[in-house]
A and B are shown apart, each in its own frame.
Chain A
Amino acid sequence: MRRKDVLDLDDFSAEELTEVLDSAVSMKEVLARPIKRVPPLRGKTIVNCFYEASTRTRVSFELAAKNLSADVVNITASGSSVEKGETLVDTARTLQALGADMVIIRHPHSGAPYLVARELDACVINAGDGWHAHPTQGLLDLFTVREKLGSLDGKKIVIVGDVLHSRVARSDIWGFTTLGAQVVLCGPPTLMPPGIETAIAEGLRRKGGNGGNGATKEHAAVRVQYDLDKAVEDADVVMALRIQKERQDAGLFPSLREYSRLYCLTRARIARAKFGALVMHPGPMNEGIEIAPDVAYGVQSVIEEQVTNGVAVRMALMYLLAGGRSDLAV
């Protein structure tokens, strides 16, 4: 892989995605060993820069880096110079001056990792920025589906919930469609980004040159469906997104009860999908609101595996990026 940064999946070709997923298979084997540590990033320093609360993503990145024998430093906004008013770019430059080879950044503002990536020679991985993108979550979702179903080509992926505010959904859409899957977005109209179908089709067309399968199937790559019972029909994968309670205060939906009546993944709804369809959730879950507990912990759920796979995928990405750095000049 020849790139310095991973900021979103919108600029990943099908080949690059496959390269990451294939490498993650090897990394998953490492995670199954009694000693879960391999040496390829020995002597590299990775800084985990989290400006927003996170458990699974931060720990996942930290473990991934440690499993590859890198040194990891964690910074959070509180307790760092950010509180003294240091700007993002200054913080990033400081980290680089201190010898960071790779910076993992999570930030509440969309686009912040792009700013950091432009300023630094170090590799930057976006660990979630605002509503915009969460590429490593996208990759781990792709990995989980591919591992379970063998391939993504022609699969129907239903993503249910607050698509408007979801960076996970955005990165998932790019990843799934590039590998030839069809994505159906479902949720209340107030939580659906207007014009997303044409925006994605346009993006895939621009991407087309690098051989993404999405290019040939773009006309049907993304569809919006407001009725969940219809949306889940024939689905291979049903993914619920976290609904944030503060969206109700913003008037985007009347009540959690109504939301859950219309959009909660219940056993009855999952039964309408394909037999054995996968149930996914990026976490953290609001049980009983976007997903029923018996579905979340049921036999079709791969939610816990998503978390495990996240470490493998992040290891693969870090491994591949560390090699790409030396040929930046090319």
Chain B
Amino acid sequence: MATTLPSGSSQGPSEGSAAVADTPILDAEGIRRALTRIAHEILERNQGPEKVILVGLRRRGVPLAGRLAALIQQFEGVDVPVGQLDITMYRDDLGLRGTQPEMHPTSMPHDVTERSVVLVDDVLYTGRTIRAALDAVLDYGRPRQIQLAVLVDRGHRELPIRPDYIGKNVPTARHEEIAVRLEETDGRDEVVLVRREERIEQDGREGDER
């Protein structure tokens, strides 16, 4: 998950000169439709909103979880609890980096026991963030199920993790980047594919999701 990088920026093409070209993946309408479908799928899969808790992963999973909750409220008239999770302390690369990554607040508004926890993130890449998130959620109790919703699945998993709800599958090369920008964090809604050659090495080192 790109959003756990300490920089917290979108790392869009404007920041580096090495960007060759951006390919649009989803525009604002596309994001809205994908989330609408995912909201319906979550309701279908869990037989309604009663047992569902949405948990957004810092940073861009948080607004996405909020939007899904708003859609579910629109469809069913029920407010599902929305939490936010910062997985920093569960990372598997702590101590391998120079300084410790910055931490952000976590909030879990509801007991997870016997509930279906839906983790929400922007991009699914190596799966390491999700592994950390699974550990974090299990520290709060024993959910009946943990499901995963992502806006973009870009492949290259390094762990046996698969999403339950996918906005869009985007086959990528490792040196490419998926930049998800959201109104709440970046001022506009869009998903673009960024090609950036010198990212290859960095990706391996950070083991982070892009």
Contact = CB atoms under 8 A, between A and B. Distances in A.
Contacts of B105: 25-26, 29
A26 B141 contact: no
Given A29-B106, A40-B94, A34 B99 contact: no
**Size range of the chain B interface in the assembly:** 20 to 34
B98 A326 contact: yes
Given A38-B89, A38-B139, A323 B99 contact: yes
B100 A322 contact: yes
A118 to B, nearest CB: 22
Contacts, number: 67
A44 to B, nearest CB: 8
A39 B90 contact: yes
A256 interface: no
A13 to B, nearest CB: 15
A34 B140 contact: yes
Contact of B98 (A23, A38, A322, A323): A323
Nearest to A325: B95
Contacts of B107: 29
Interface string B104-136: 111110000000000000000000000000010
Interface residues of A, number: 26
Given A29-B107, A320-B100, A323-B100, A38 B90 contact: yes
B97 interface: yes
B208 interface: no
B78 interface: no
Nearest to A43: B95
Interface in B62-97: 86, 88-91, 94-97
Contacts of A33: 108, 139-140
Interface in B135-188: 135, 139-141
Contacts of A26: 86, 88-89, 103-106
B89 A319 contact: yes
Given A34-B141, A38-B89, A319 B100 contact: yes
Contact of B139 (A23, A35, A326): A35
Interface string A12-40: 00000001001101110110011101111
B209 to A, nearest CB: 19
Instruction: For the complex of A and B, list the 6 residue pairs with the smallest distance between their C-beta atoms, beginning with the closest.
Output: A323-B100, A26-B103, A38-B89, A327-B98, A40-B89, A35-B139
13 contacts: A33-B140, A34-B141, A35-B140, A38-B89, A38-B90, A38-B139, A40-B89, A40-B91, A40-B100, A319-B103, A322-B100, A323-B98, A323-B99
